[in-house]
């Protein structure tokens, strides 16, 4: 249940703020943010060692950021399937998905933002929906923007309930928090009240409302948040902070 939170304020000196929470099985190997792709030397992001892609990519020269979440719907044929980790690389580099063969990808939500625009693409295996995001706070979870991508039969599963609980708990806290304008300084100074929220707002990681979940599935393995990214886009640059120890207020490192 990854989560992407974006705050858009065209009047601010930092018009785009993005909080990206990556959830995955803890044993899936990955590398911290860097310039991992020789064919795209301008991009910076964490690298999934299994498939070679990423969950969040930044192009500091644009400046532009893109992040992907798993969606719901019909999976791609196994023989033709491509990793969704390619999508943030493509969007961060090109600003869109022109010419992409969507049939090769399992369902996804892809968020791409620049200082003057933000878009969300949602693919369910049959249809692509593109949304322009206006000023304000937007939260994307695995069942869509603000959790609106319900099953057609209206039934809720445990994932839906947890996403609903997460949205209900964190949206009012994000709305009440002072919107930061990150530039220089340590993460706590730059991100202010947002940093406490990015650290989980004090909830246990086993709480159904948790932004940084941690679940033991027994033989299947332990699953939960493996990293958190905070990205701020100005018209003249990027601030990118990263934590590989979710919930630890001292674990934040500045990437850009």
Query: In order of start, what are the domains of the chain with their CATH numbers?
Result: 3-254 (3.60.60.10)
Q: pTM score > 0.75 for this model?
A: yes
Indicate whether 246 pLDDT > 60. yes
Q: Which residues pair with 6 in a beta bridge?
A: 18, 138
Q: Give Cα 237 distance to the centre of its chain.
A: 20
**CA separation, residue 11 to residues 4, 7, 15, 135 (Å):** 22, 12, 7, 9
Report, in angstroms and rounded to the nearest whole number, the Rg of the chain calculated over CA atoms. Answer: 17
Tell whether omega for the bond before 91 is within 30 degrees of 0, i.e. cis: no
Q: What per-residue confidence (pLDDT) applies to 183?
A: 92
Indicate whether 151 pLDDT > 70. no
Q: Give Cα 123 distance to the centre of its chain.
A: 16
- Residue 23: other Cβ atoms inside 10 A: 22
Indicate whether 155 pLDDT > 70. no
Burial 38-66 (b: 16+ CB within 10 A, else e): eebeebbbbbbeeeebbbbbbbbebbbbb
Q: Which two tokens stand for residue 123?
A: 């693919």
Indicate whether 133 pLDDT > 70. yes
Tally of residues, the chain:
256
Find the distance separating the first CA and the last CA of the chain, reported in whole Å.
26
Q: ∠ CA(252), CA(6), CA(177), 5° rounding?
A: 70
4 phi, psi to nearest 5 deg = -125, 130
Indicate whether 152 pLDDT > 70. no
Mean pLDDT of 191-207: 97
Q: What does the pLDDT look like over 11-31, one tens digit per residue?
A: 999 999 999 999 999 999 999
Indicate whether 230 pLDDT > 60. yes
Indicate whether 251 pLDDT > 60. yes
Q: What per-residue confidence (pLDDT) applies to 157?
A: 78
């Amino acid at each position: 249940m990854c989560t992407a939170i974006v705050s858009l304020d065209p009047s601010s000196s930092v018009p785009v703020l993005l909080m990206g929470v990556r959830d995955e099985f803890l044993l899936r190997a990955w590398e911290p943010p860097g310039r991992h792709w020789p064919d795209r030397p301008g991009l910076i992001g964490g690298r999934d060692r299994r498939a070679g892609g990423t969950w969040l990519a930044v192009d500091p020269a644009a400046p532009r950021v893109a992040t992907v979440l798993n969606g719901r719907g019909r999976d791609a044929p196994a023989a033709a399937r491509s990793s969704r980790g390619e999508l943030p690389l493509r969007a961060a580099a090109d600003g869109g998905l022109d010419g992409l063969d969507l049939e090769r990808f399992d369902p996804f939500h892809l968020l791409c933002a620049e200082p003057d625009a933000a878009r969300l693409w949602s693919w369910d295996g049959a249809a692509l929906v593109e949304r322009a995001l206006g000023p304000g706070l937007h939260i994307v979870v695995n069942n869509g923007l603000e959790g609106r991508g319900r099953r057609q039969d209206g039934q809720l599963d445990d994932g839906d309930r947890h996403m609903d609980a997460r949205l209900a708990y964190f949206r009012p806290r994000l709305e009440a928090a002072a919107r930061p304008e990150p530039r220089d300084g340590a993460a706590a100074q730059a991100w202010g009240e947002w940093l406490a929220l990015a650290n989980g707002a004090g909830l246990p990681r086993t709480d159904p409302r948790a932004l940084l979940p941690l679940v033991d599935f027994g033989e299947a393995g332990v699953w939960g948040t493996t990293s958190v990214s905070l990205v701020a886009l100005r018209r003249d640059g990027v601030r990118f902070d990263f934590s590989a120890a979710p919930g630890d207020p001292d674990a934040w490192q500045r990437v850009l």
